[in-house]
Amino acid sequence: MTISNVSRRDFLKTAGLATSGLVISVALPMNALAEKGIMKESAEEINAFIQIADNGDTVIYCGRCEMGQGISTALPSAVADEMEADWQRVTVKQGDADEKYGPQATGGSASIRVMFQPMREAGATAKAMLIAAAAKVWKTSPDNCFAQAHFVINKTNQQKLGYGELASIAANMPVPEKPTLKKKADFKYIGTALSRHDQDEVVVGKRIYGVDTKLPGLKYAAIIHCPVLGGALKSLDKTAALKMKGVSDVVEIPRFAIPFGSIGGVAVVADNSWTAQQAVKQLKIEWSLGENAIYDTKEYKQQLVKNVEKPATLASERGDIEKAFSTAKHKMSATYTGGHLSHAPMEPNASVVWVQKDSCEVWASTQSPADIQKVLGQYLERDPKDIIVHVAMAGGAFGRKFKCDYVHEAAVISQKTGSPIQLTWTREEDMRTGYYHSINAQHIEASMDENGNVTGWLHRAAFPSISTLFDPSLVRTPANSLDDITNHLFGVENCRVESGDAKAHTRIGWYRAVYAIFYGFAFSTFADELAYKAGKDSLSFVNQLLDNNKNKEQTAQVKRAKDILAIAANKSGWKNRDKLPEGQGIGLAVHYSFQSFVAMAVHVEVNGDDIKVLNVDCAIDCGQVLNLDGATAQMEGAVVMGMSLALSTEITFRGGAVVNSNFHDYPVMRITDMPNVRVHMPDSDESPTGLGEPGVAPFAPALSNAVFAASGKRYRDLPFKPMSV
Amino acid sequence: MTQSIIINGKKHAIDVDGNMPLLWFLRDQLELTGTKFGCGSGLCGACTVHVNGQAIRSCITPVSTLVGKKITTIEGLSEKGDHPLQRAWLNNNVPQCGYCQAGQIMNAASLLSVNAAPSSEEIDTAMQGNICRCGTYQRIKKAIVEAADTLSKEV
Ligand code: FES
Ligand code: FES
């Protein structure tokens, strides 16, 4: 990592940063950020800027995208803490797409894991330079000075100099090689419950999201997409639409068959969004649907189940599973399934793009500005660097806004009409034109000895994988996507993992928690089923299963998983679960994903088919917690999303097209079902990891286990109570 | 003669097709973007505003039905952003992405105006039309209770 003094550099001007005062940049080698193929180069790129103006105003530019996960508060607060800045004087700004920020792709719960230490060091660097500046003014040694709340103070005579007064002098000070970091006990912001930096704007309706962008001369577009992946426009009659008052254009958008390009559709341009939406309904369109028109999720799921209930393609193997099975005291098997999910963030896909002869400017909610540059660069045949992307606050994203088809489409429309275009997808289009969480089936067979030790584990998974976005010819999930099964913390000596056939018939994408949703569900639900079979209580059974892990490389992880599970169990009153009223039960689950450990204890009341979740105790170990309030919020949100997918949400395809259309047939959780969520975070000195995703995984299995404890009914299919659409 | 509508105390001529829902009149014509588009079908509450003090879904309310009526949007709920609900929202760090929150606050304000001390069930019933996909419901509820409490002390 390199921290540099860039105060006088020319590029600050072009980036819109002031050129007086002190500006510090943080550059990480990109290979340190290599995240699941997002970044491969090993160049150094700047990830953040700290700017202290001559009046003391401090701006921290954060390159990571904000979508509600709180990153734009958490990371800058680490800078401010080390810098001894007064948080009230700090403004946080979202960096535009610029390779000077390095990888801005925001996903995989990686931001804090990767950026925490560099951001602290950057803050400490700024502090050291400000102190050096003050020492120079006072002709004293830096050791005779200390920093506090935006001032440097002279220990001898208590004189004070403000950061603003010092900024320009500090800009001429050498950058310290290894700045000293603060001790944990001295933190002011790190590890506290700092409020979101922008919430005062939210409550008065002044926070600007991607969908709120306004430009002079803006035209509004609405779109209807080809309902089936790979289909194309057969005929279009636009007469009626064009006759409508306020409608100016109808634009055909052919499929751009690269990852994250448009699926293809027809857009209408008008004076306002509503007119455009009405006009889309007047289009007479015939599609040729192509080969994916056979896609029917009900049949497909049944086929997946068949594919995992028979031998499939070997992905990994250790020990001798046949021997384990043939000498078993108990044997057991079960099959688990799950459906497609739509992210359905409250802000639908929207973007503003203005393509001109020699420029292209984008305003959009996005998780990956660099992908916008790449896709638009490719489409317009321009250098990706020349695509200017203003990263807007996203009204939720959950993985959907990693893909920029909705930006590509606005670029096509703008290029063809010459106007700046705001394209807003309707909710219906958002739900029907997704990058869905994979439909899936898993079959597990296990053997146990007379003491309830699991001796063999056969795990078959079949789901169309995200890799199909990049290689549509894949007929099954590649072995390396099943690594999280092979490396699961449960200690089983003899284990075989197989990949069942599962071709993709729609676009599959990352959805908050990704594969951990169904891996977590199968592992923790099956463990509970095994516990009953072995005649043990679920907590001691899972502990034993973890203790049996003899892999030295996983010893520390096993301990953390057990500790965190113990906390969730204790807080939920697990010990006294026998005393719960009739019809109530507690279920447990622990899952390790994205390098964080999350355990949940779900307490339910079951009445016939009616499942009421009363309490959820979440225990998390994500190392040192940067923002207590943000971490708590992420867990509350994970419970809500976990509950939606466990109980009710599922995307259904028939004839190749999505049947669901809006929140009436994609019933996400509402306030009436909100349980009491308690979040427990033990103090930790481990390096921090992320929390955006890992919280979602343990909810569904803990719920299945709780319902079984309460009623004896076992749910193995997500969602438990699908709506028929 | 052009008809008009009063939004946050200001009179605006209705110079659009009367069938246009208020939501789009606010967002695209007046560029008042605090009121959000979530579903367009009255299913999510993101677009909630007040008509004569009562919460309505602006995405399904044609402007022509609002001639002469007084509309309040999130931008006009209080002069200084200090409505007890807005304060309670900040106290409880309610927003995550924040996109749904204008609708949540407007809906809650309408509830408190007719029921100053709602029970837990009454809050659920009143707020169930407002979706928060980020999952801030627990805090929303706490903030409403807190605001109701503040209001009762102010009287
Ligand atoms: S946008 Fe009006 S209720 Fe959803
Ligand atoms: S805060 Fe994001 S939808 Fe409610």
pLDDT in tens, B116-142: 999 999 999 999 999 999 999 999 999
A523-527 mean pLDDT: 98
Round to whole Å and give the CA distance between A129 and A3. Answer: 12
> Which residue among A205, A212, A272 sits closest to B75, beta carbon to beta carbon?
A205
Best residue for ligand 2 mutational test, from A207, A346, A634, A644 (most atoms within 8 Å of Cβ): A346
How far away is chain B from the Cα of A644, in angstroms, using its nearest Cα? 10
Is-contact A61 A49, C-beta < 8 A? Answer: yes
3-class SS letters over A448-515: ECCCCCEEEEEEEEECCCHHHHCCCCCCECCHHHHHHHHCCCCCCCEEEEEECECCCCCCECCCCCCC
Q: Are residues B143 and B108 in the same domain?
A: yes
- Whether B89 and B72 map to the same domain: the answer is no
Q: Which CATH number fits domain A297-341+436-718: 3.40.50.300, 3.30.365.10, 3.30.390.50, 3.20.20.70?
A: 3.30.365.10
The number of C-alpha atoms within 13 Å of A326 and in the hemisphere containing its C-beta is: 4
8 Å CB contact between A127 and A179: yes
Cα of A668 to ligand 2 centre, how many Å?
13
The rounded distance, in Å, linking the Cα atoms of A227 and A659 is 10
Question: What digits encode the pLDDT tens for the residues A307-317?
Answer: 999 999 999 99
Which residues form the domain of B37? 4-76
pLDDT tens for residues A269-326?
A: 999 999 999 999 999 999 999 999 999 999 999 999 999 999 999 999 999 999 999 9
Ligand 2 centroid from CA A100, angstroms: 30
How many angstroms away from the CA of B36 is the closest CA of chain A? 8
- How do residues A186-233 score in pLDDT, each as one tens digit? 999 999 888 888 899 999 999 999 999 999 999 999 999 999 999 999
CB contacts < 8 A (A, B): 182
Is there a contact between A501 and A541 (Cβ–Cβ < 8 Å)? no
Report pLDDT for A42: 35
Q: Where among B76, B109, B140 does a domain terminate?
A: B76
Q: Give the three-state DSSP class for A444.
A: strand
CA distances from A276 to A248, A281, B36 (A): 9, 9, 17
Residues B8 and B65 in one domain: yes
Residue range(s) in chain A whose domain bears CATH number 3.30.365.10: 2-202, 215-290+343-432, 297-341+436-718
Q: For residue A584, what are the β-bridge partners?
A: A605
**Percentage with pLDDT > 70 across chain A:** 93
Closest-CA residue of chain B to A665: B43
CA distances from A402 to A209, A399, A405, A435 (A): 16, 6, 9, 10
End-to-end CA distance of chain A: 53
Distance between CA atoms of residues A221 and A271, nearest Å: 9
CA distance A475 to A470: 13
Exposed/middle/buried for A385, CB within 10 Å: 0-12, 13-18, 19+? exposed
Fold of A215-290+343-432: Aldehyde Oxidoreductase; domain 4 (3.30.365)
SS (H, E, C) A336-372: EEECEECCCCCCCCEEEEEEECCEEEEEEECCCHHHH
Report pLDDT for A383.
Answer: 94
Q: Ligand 2 atom 4: the closest Cα is on which residue?
A: B132
Q: Which helix (H) or strand (E) holds A313?
A: strand A313-318
A619-642: pLDDT as tens digits: 999 998 889 999 999 999 999 999
> To the nearest whole angstrom, how far is the Cα of B5 from the nearest Cα of chain A?
19
Name the one residue in this structure whose structure tokens are 């894991």.
Answer: A113
pLDDT of residue A33: 42
Atom of ligand 1 nearest to the CA of B48: 2
Residue A38, pLDDT above cutoff 50: no
Q: Residues A413, A355: contact at Cβ < 8 Å?
A: no
Question: What is the ipTM for the molecules in this complex?
Answer: 0.97
Between these two residues, B119 and A71, which has the higher pLDDT value? B119
What domain count does chain B have? 2
Looking at residues A169-198, what average pLDDT do you find?
90
Q: Return the pLDDT at A447.
A: 98
Q: Which one of B40, B86, B133 has the shortest CB-CB distance to A204?
A: B86
Q: Which residues of B touch A671 (CB under 8 A)?
A: 123-124, 127-128, 130, 132, 137, 140-141
Confidence of residue A440 (pLDDT cuts 50, 70, 90): very high
Closest atom of ligand 1 to B59 CA is 2
Q: Please report the pLDDT score of residue A4 as a whole number.
A: 75
Burial of A72 (0-12, 13-18, 19+ CB in 10 A): buried
* Mean pLDDT along residues A659-683: 97
Q: For residue B55, what is the enclosing H or E element?
A: strand B54-57
The CATH code of the domain at A2-202 is 3.30.365.10
Name chain A contacts of B140, Cβ cutoff 8 Å: 671
Q: Output the average pLDDT for chain A.
A: 92
Q: Indicate if ligand 1 lies below 6 Å from the C-beta of B34.
A: no
* Overall average pLDDT of the A611-623 stretch: 97
Q: Which of A687, A724, A713, A634 is nearest to A181 (CA)?
A: A687
Q: How many residues are listed for chain A in this entry?
A: 725
CB A624 within 8 A of CB A181: no
Output the domain CATH number for residue B99.
1.10.150.120
A272 lies within 8 A of chain B by CB: yes
**Residues found in chain B:** 155
Q: Are residues B67 and B9 in the same domain?
A: yes
Q: What pLDDT digit, counting tens, does each position of A528-560 carry?
A: 999 999 999 999 999 999 999 999 999 999 999
Percentage, residues of chain A above pLDDT 90: 78
Distance from C-alpha of A29 to C-alpha of A45, rounded to nearest angstrom = 6
